[in-house]
Amino acid sequence: MGSTEQEHSSKYQFKAEIKQLLDILVHSLYTSREIFLRELISNASDALDKLRFEITKGSEILDKDIPLEIKITFDEKKKLLTIADTGIGMTKDDLIDNIGTIAKSGSADFLKMIADNKSDAANIIGRFGVGFYSVFMAAERVDITTQSFKPGEKPMKWSSEGLGDFEIVEIEDTIKRGTTIEVHLKEDAKEFAEKYRIEGVIKKYSNFISFPIFLENDKVNNIKALWREPKSSITSEEYNEFYKFLTYDSEEPMDILHASVDAPIQYYSLLFIPKKENEFFRMSREEYGLDLYVRRVLIQHKNKDILPEYLGFVKGVVDSEDLPLNISRETLQENSVFGKISKNITAQVYSYLQKKAKEKPEEYAAFWKEYNRVFKLGYSDFLNADKYMELLRFNSSANEDENGLTSLEDYTGRLQNEQKEIYYALGTSRDSIISSPQLEIFKNKGLEVLFLSDPLDEFVLSSIRKYKDYDFKSIDTADLKSIEKLADKIEKEKPVELSKDDSLQFDSLLSKMKDILKDKVEEVRASERLVDSPACLISPDSSISSTMQRLMRLSNKEIGMQKKIFEINKDHALIRNLLKVFKADSNDKYINLVTDQLFESALLLEGSLEDPHKLVSRLNELLKDSSEWYVEVKKI
């Protein structure tokens, strides 16, 4: 650089996390290490975007008239690659804060990723806010010279070999605004000082950078704002290339939504739905948002207010004609034009989903499989509640297997006469719900039940409360009186009614069972809902939902499950036999044995039996007895 450096230089240590990161990057050979060039160009482009933003705000700016561009030069002999931009530049404090001493929130996540050795993690380093350091995959030393756009700031030089420390010195010569990064390439990376190699990388990753990139003296990128081009002039390769540029995805998108809207407000939007949910989306909220432009000037990267978070799987760009260029990010939300854009774009995403759900249910099922967890979080978006509900899908008893999907519209289209509620059952899986005794009467009456095996589903239903005029009702708390009246769908022999006297005896048996279980249950009562099972546990009508209870238990182990009602099927053969035993001797110990066993079996089915030891030893005892009777009866 030929600059005379000040005598007193200063050395700084890299932050521990950065040191760890560098250690891995320097010592591993990644197949995708060419991406360091993409990262440096993307930083140059960010710096130019930031400068353009300062210009539109009317800030005072050094070297105001030099063009906004990126220049790449190389020297094969010296194994030197240089990337220069005329962007925002950095002050000494900026250098210290931005490069080396303060770890960004993403760095720990990225370290975890490369430690887990996820598929060439280096390729996606830029997503974690630590893209700059990728340069040390190829460099043995890096020198940054930089001049901040702020008048009065001194030019600086930062140097490092990517080991433990870096150095910052002040430069005496004057330099133009912007940042120049000199990459002194390692012997085995000298290919990055060759023209065809550099050009290839730029074409592959940086074609859509919106500032001109000059390689030596030739402009090598295509700076058109794709979203402003007419759809008919864009090839699907261009769309896909732009998508990959924008998202770092290696696959093509599931869908592309390109719109140019004129009234009532004018904007362009180019949105993409990735095929797969980005695995980092869940890790960091930073990942979601659309890039907001005003008349081609990037105002905000990943704006989080255009689309609600639950539609955050949508990626892309929005460019407004009507917003003021000097709008600050803080006042965006209060701007009525912005509000309209946001509303329109949300509506656009909804109508895309509605169309897919209606016309291509198989594609919608694929979408649902990938994004249902995120989408369901929209339960609190009351403005879009109707559309949101139409897009929800559940597995239900009307589906053949766990892959089947039912919409609320499907469900209500299959309602039985007089049915006013949408029934649902909670459980950990379809299988466990299907085998639960509580479901028996619904099966018997042919009533459809939604199977909620995702804990989020219960939150969704309890916050949307109603679909059209239908309330959601858990099968636990459904009104059995009205269900009883419906005709049976499954032919079964009618059980013999209990005689008057037996009915009284049965009530005493229930009291006896309550005495045995004591305060383990709220009540023991005859069941209206059971068909094939002898007994089950039910939540009292006004009880807090079992999901809430699970949450409460998670936060405080001391809170036990709420006491339940134990229901007994008086028509079950086992209970009829038990009644005989009871009539012969109301204190027979066999009654205790059976009662405890039925109770613990019900707990086990619910997933809330804490200690199975007693259940198993009791069962063994019963089996021993029954084996003796078996031998006797069979005369073996």
Query: What are residue 471's DSSP bridge partners?
Result: 421, 466
- Residues near 176 by Cβ (< 8 Å), separated by ≥ 6? 63, 66, 86, 147
What are the CA-CA distances from residue 120 to residues 115, 143, 478 (Å)?
11, 27, 53
- Told to check if 89 binds Mg ion by CB under 5 A, we report no
Residue of the chain from 100, 131, 155, 378 that contacts ligand ADP (CB under 6 A): 131
Rounded-to-integer distance, Cα 94 and Cα 380, Å = 40
Helix (H) or strand (E) holding 156, with range, is strand 156-160
Rounded-to-integer distance, Cα 140 and Cα 154, Å = 27
Q: Is 129 strand, coil or helix?
A: coil
Total chain residues near ligand ADP (CB under 6 A): 16
120 binds, among Mg ion, ligand ADP, none (CB under 5 to 8 A by kind): none
- Residues near 183 by Cβ (< 8 Å), separated by ≥ 6? 36, 40, 80, 81, 82, 83, 135, 138, 139, 142, 192
Residue of the chain from 72, 81, 87, 160 that contacts ligand ADP (CB under 6 A): 87
- Told to check if 474 binds ligand ADP by CB under 6 A, we report no
In degrees, rounded to 5, the angle at the alpha carbon of residue 271 between the alpha carbons of residues 267 and 272 is: 175
Shorter beta-carbon distance to ligand ADP: residue 85 or 249: 85
- Told to check if 148 binds ligand ADP by CB under 6 A, we report no
- Told to check if 206 binds Mg ion by CB under 5 A, we report no
- Told to check if 90 binds ligand ADP by CB under 6 A, we report yes
135 binds, among Mg ion, ligand ADP, none (CB under 5 to 8 A by kind): none
Shorter beta-carbon distance to Mg ion: residue 38 or 356: 38
The DSSP call for residue 466 is: E
Residue 130 beta carbon to Mg ion: minimum distance, rounded to whole angstroms: 8
Rounded-to-integer distance, Cα 553 and Cα 567, Å = 24
Rounded-to-integer distance, Cα 260 and Cα 84, Å = 35
Q: Is 484 strand, coil or helix?
A: helix
Rounded-to-integer distance, Cα 45 and Cα 298, Å = 11
* Span interacting with Mg ion, options 70-78, 129-137, 197-205, 459-467, rule CB under 5 A: 129-137
Query: DSSP string covering 20-84, please?
Result: HHHHHHHH---TTTTHHHHHHHHHHHHHHHHHHHHHHHT---TTTTS---EEEEEETTTTEEEEE
- Told to check if 101 binds ligand ADP by CB under 6 A, we report no
390 binds, among ligand ADP, Mg ion, none (CB under 5 to 8 A by kind): none
**Pairing of β 267-273 and β 255-261:** antiparallel
- Told to check if 291 binds ligand ADP by CB under 6 A, we report no
98 binds, among ligand ADP, Mg ion, none (CB under 5 to 8 A by kind): ligand ADP
Residue of the chain from 86, 145, 160, 179 that contacts ligand ADP (CB under 6 A): 179
Residue of the chain from 19, 63, 129, 547 that contacts ligand ADP (CB under 6 A): 129
- Told to check if 131 binds Mg ion by CB under 5 A, we report yes
Residue of the chain from 18, 51, 68, 99 that contacts ligand ADP (CB under 6 A): 99
Residue of the chain from 18, 35, 37, 47 that contacts ligand ADP (CB under 6 A): 47
Nearest to 254, CA basis, from 352, 354, 154, 144: 352
Query: What are residue 158's DSSP bridge partners?
Result: 144, 168
Instruction: Give the CA count within 13 Å in the CB-facing half-sphere of 66.
Output: 17
Residue 88 beta carbon to ligand ADP: minimum distance, rounded to whole angstroms: 5
Rounded-to-integer distance, Cα 347 and Cα 337, Å = 15
* Span interacting with Mg ion, options 123-131, 229-237, 350-358, 361-369, rule CB under 5 A: 123-131
- Told to check if 391 binds ligand ADP by CB under 6 A, we report no
* Span interacting with Mg ion, options 41-49, 348-356, 453-461, 488-496, rule CB under 5 A: 41-49
47 binds, among ligand ADP, Mg ion, none (CB under 5 to 8 A by kind): ligand ADP
Rounded-to-integer distance, Cα 162 and Cα 139, Å = 8
Residue 57: both structure tokens together: 């705000």
298 binds, among Mg ion, ligand ADP, none (CB under 5 to 8 A by kind): none
What are the CA-CA distances from residue 183 to residues 83, 186, 188 (Å)?
8, 9, 13
- Told to check if 534 binds Mg ion by CB under 5 A, we report no
Shorter beta-carbon distance to ligand ADP: residue 17 or 454: 17
Shorter beta-carbon distance to ligand ADP: residue 184 or 512: 184
The DSSP call for residue 171 is: B
506 binds, among ligand ADP, Mg ion, none (CB under 5 to 8 A by kind): none
Residue of the chain from 24, 37, 39, 364 that contacts ligand ADP (CB under 6 A): 39
Shorter beta-carbon distance to Mg ion: residue 302 or 387: 302
- Told to check if 153 binds ligand ADP by CB under 6 A, we report no
Residue 434 beta carbon to ligand ADP: minimum distance, rounded to whole angstroms: 49
How many C-beta neighbours within 10 Å does residue 331 have? 10
Residue 328 beta carbon to Mg ion: minimum distance, rounded to whole angstroms: 23
Give me the 563-582 binding string for Mg ion, x by CB under 5 A, dash otherwise: --------------------
- Told to check if 98 binds ligand ADP by CB under 6 A, we report yes
- Told to check if 44 binds ligand ADP by CB under 6 A, we report yes
Which amino acid makes up residue 484? E
- Told to check if 130 binds ligand ADP by CB under 6 A, we report yes
Query: What are residue 181's DSSP bridge partners?
Result: 83, 144
Chain residues that interact with ligand ADP, rule: CB under 6 A: 39, 43-44, 46-47, 85, 87-88, 90, 98-99, 129-132, 179
Chain residues that interact with Mg ion, rule: CB under 5 A: 43, 131
